[in-house]
Structure 1
Amino acid sequence: MTASRTAGLERLTLGFIPLLDAALPIIAREGGFFAAEGLDVALSRENAWSTLRDKLAAGLLDGAHMLAPLPLAMSLGISGAACETLAPLVLGRNGNTLVLSSRWSEGMPLPETAIPPGDPDPAAGARDFARRLRHRGGPPPCLAIVHPFSCQHYQLREWLALGGIDADHEVKRVVLPPSRMAEALEEGRIDGFCVGEPWGSLAQRRGGGRIVASGAQLWPDHPEKVLGVTASWAERHPATLAALIRGLTGAADWLGASPEHARQARDWLALPPYLDRAASHLETLAPDTGPARQRLGGDLRPSPAAMAPMAAHLDHALRARGGRLAPARLSACYSPVHFDAATHQERA
């Protein structure tokens, strides 16, 4: 780590939801990477994405670990009051799991037990689910998502569509915080969910359900979480934003440097202020493992083109309201300009 640098705003608060892809802010704080950039960063654990969104928009948070579609949804005014929001860095790729209760998933092809080795076709599980749904009759199964404007929601819809299931009429969808998914499944209040790790693997380990598909199967290597800041905050504090980006990239480089670092990162996430017992079943944060294919390092540079799958869903939501997603809005939200300035990268 480098000697301490002076940033424009030295004390700030970042919000996060207890998920594995909050790892980089946690590592940057616990490992001293923020401090090396002259930043005193407090991490505020939030329970729901809507709460985190509202606090960021109100200026109660300086930045946040955010669902990749949420900055654009905020900018467009389709998730809360309109608030121009930027995503200057990617915090994680992949990492979502689609879990069904044991009653609905018994005998289905599972990503972690595929023969030959490798992921099974997610469409096979979706078609199996469709057959069960129509054979059993009765009330529609209840599936939980974390937020309407989330990759989890869009990936769930696309998985259901692979089985010919109408997500708006053949299943019931509810919104729950990620940390409540496994418990709700065990109690029978929901029949399945799509969520970021570690909550899917935890539900499977506790016997409440089984992972039947992953977001990595549907959208390989997609940006799942981003750093979110309001455009007004970025304009007022450019030096702080640059220091924040450098602290997070330093944490990512450190995480990927050795298996020992991945195990240390897991221990930090398991501390009570962060994920606590929800991370107790994990041994490491080694990248690209398990059915979720979680990636917490690598290329953190944002790219509007990489947001195409989720942008299509947001455009659909806008068209339902008589609008349309302008390419310029997408490009402004996920521009790499702040990342490149902070890391001194020159890209075409």
Structure 2
Amino acid sequence: MSHPQHHAASPELERLTLGFVPLLDAALLIVAREQGCFAAQGLEVSLSRENAWSTLRDKVAAGLLDGAQMLAPMPLAMSLGLGRAPCETLAPTLLSRNGNTITLSTSLCQASGAALATDPGTSALALGDWLRGPGSGKRPRLAMVYPYSCQHYQLREWLTLGDIAPERHVELIALPPPRMVEALRNGQIDGFCAGEPWGTLARHCGAGQLVATGAQLWQDHPEKVLGVTRSWAQRYPATLAALLRALATASEWLAASPDHRRQAREWLALPPYLDRSIRHLETLDNDAAPIHQHLCGADMLRPTPQAALHFAAPIVSQLEAQGGRFDPALLAACYSAVHFDAATHH
């Protein structure tokens, strides 16, 4: 149970800016701002829309953003110096679980027979059999959102279920999530793995079909987190605690009723946030099969190093292949629940 608010230390910062990428799992940041959860904690928060994960990462590292919605593996990759100079980064709370879809172009689905099934291996095998057949032609180009992402690792895992070698049978590229549907529609890519709403939007506009979901591959995995640098967390502990309490309140509010989820969808549809990209969604209720996206609920937000093992494994392999050594204490520090527990009296 949380203690009365006046027992908490006043935030060191009254105004701060958090980054987000236009995805459904920016919901808690947007709800916390629009519903007044940040304001109730004495914080005036601006939300800055960033279209590419690499831009968002660099702005957090440079101190241009106080923190941001991040891909769950990003704090670990940043701390290890993968993709840029090392910057110790923490994930003091989760923002979502699940929510990724693997989407192939409608023409590739028709040619290969790949279709959504209970077992994600079914669609992967259909694609694999077609690729090994006589009529496949060029290698399909598949996009993911960032090299160190659950989307990248889930896409690779799905391909291997169809005996498809990612390096040999397909071409993998990184694209910002908001560019996926247009790139699929104009034939620049043949498929993608990205968070919602981009997969269902591709289906809605006839450009693609869902063939598998992240939830089918890794059940209830952490997908997005709030990321802050370790130095920022040490400098502004009361501000961080206030942020975490505001996000926990937003999660409780979102979970409380379908009307709240409808209201949240209206906020997400505002031009500064996701705008037209969610017009096809009636509500935020994407927690149904097969996507099973969780944006709120008891205990959903609490980070643990154990929950990070799914995506830590490929990062460790990559690091060791480059001659690096992995210290498990770094994983424990990145995804520790210590800040969350202190802020919410968990």
TM-score category (smaller protein): over 0.9
Report if aligned partners of 1:216, 1:292 keep a CA contact under 8 Å in 2. yes
Alignment of 1:24-63 (within 5 A): 24-63=28-67
- The runs of 5 or more residues in structure 2 that have no matched partner are none
Alignment of 1:185-224 (within 5 A): 185-224=184-223
Give distance in 2, aligned partners of 1:44 and 1:169: 38
Partner SS state of residue 226, structure 2: strand
Report if aligned partners of 1:3, 1:36 keep a CA contact under 8 Å in 2. no
Give distance in 1, aligned partners of 2:38 and 2:98: 25
Which residue identity does 1:121 align to in structure 2?
Answer: D
Say what the alpha-carbon RMSD is for the aligned residues: 1.4
> What is the aligned counterpart of 2:115 among 95, 109, 112?
109
| Range with bigger deviation, 190-199 or 292-301 | 292-301
Give distance in 1, aligned partners of 2:343 and 2:190: 45
Give distance in 2, aligned partners of 1:294 and 1:230: 27
Quote the sequence identity (%): 63
Report if aligned partners of 1:97, 1:291 keep a CA contact under 8 Å in 2. no
Match of 2:126 in 1: 128
Alignment of 1:1-348 (within 5 A): 6-106=10-110, 107-111=113-117, 120-135=118-133, 136-286=135-285, 288-298=287-297, 299-345=300-346
Report if aligned partners of 2:41, 2:243 keep a CA contact under 8 Å in 1. yes
TM-score by length of 1: 0.94
Which residue identity does 2:215 align to in structure 1?
Answer: A
Give distance in 1, aligned partners of 2:248 and 2:162: 40
Alignment deviations for residues 178-209 of structure 1 (CA, whole Å, 9 cap, x no partner): 00100000001100000000000000010001
Which residue identity does 1:300 align to in structure 2?
Answer: L
Which residue identity does 1:189 align to in structure 2?
Answer: Q
- In the superposition, relative to structure 1, how do residues 173 and 62 fare at CA in structure 2: closer, same or farther (>3 Å)? same
Alignment deviations for residues 91-140 of structure 1 (CA, whole Å, 9 cap, x no partner): 000000000011221243324xxxxxxxx111111000001112234221
Which runs of 4 or more aligned residues in structure 1 lie more than 6 Å from their structure 2 counterparts after TM superposition?
1-5
Residues paired across the two proteins, number: 337
Alignment deviations for residues 227-284 of structure 1 (CA, whole Å, 9 cap, x no partner): 0000000000000000000000000000000010010000000000000000111111
- The Cα of 1:170 is off from its aligned counterpart by 1.1
Which residue identity does 2:253 align to in structure 1?
Answer: W
Report if aligned partners of 2:60, 2:68 keep a CA contact under 8 Å in 1. yes
- The Cα of 1:83 is off from its aligned counterpart by 0.2
- The runs of 5 or more residues in structure 1 that have no matched partner are 112-119
Report if aligned partners of 1:19, 1:197 keep a CA contact under 8 Å in 2. yes
Which residue identity does 2:341 align to in structure 1?
Answer: D
- The Cα of 1:291 is off from its aligned counterpart by 2.6
Partner SS state of residue 311, structure 1: helix
Give distance in 1, aligned partners of 2:60 and 2:216: 31
Which residue identity does 1:110 align to in structure 2?
Answer: L
Which residue identity does 1:336 align to in structure 2?
Answer: A
| Range with bigger deviation, 92-101 or 315-324 | 315-324
Give distance in 2, aligned partners of 1:307 and 1:314: 11
Give distance in 2, aligned partners of 1:46 and 1:122: 31
Report if aligned partners of 1:69, 1:311 keep a CA contact under 8 Å in 2. yes
Report if aligned partners of 2:114, 2:124 keep a CA contact under 8 Å in 1. no
Give distance in 2, aligned partners of 1:259 and 1:327: 41
Give distance in 2, aligned partners of 1:286 and 1:145: 24
Partner SS state of residue 169, structure 2: coil
Report if aligned partners of 2:115, 2:210 keep a CA contact under 8 Å in 1. no
- In the superposition, relative to structure 1, how do residues 287 and 197 fare at CA in structure 2: closer, same or farther (>3 Å)? closer
Give distance in 2, aligned partners of 1:109 and 1:173: 20
- The Cα of 1:324 is off from its aligned counterpart by 3.1
- The Cα of 1:326 is off from its aligned counterpart by 1.8
Partner SS state of residue 168, structure 2: coil
Partner SS state of residue 96, structure 2: strand
Partner SS state of residue 55, structure 2: helix
- The Cα of 1:289 is off from its aligned counterpart by 1.9
Give distance in 2, aligned partners of 1:26 and 1:304: 26
Report if aligned partners of 2:18, 2:66 keep a CA contact under 8 Å in 1. yes
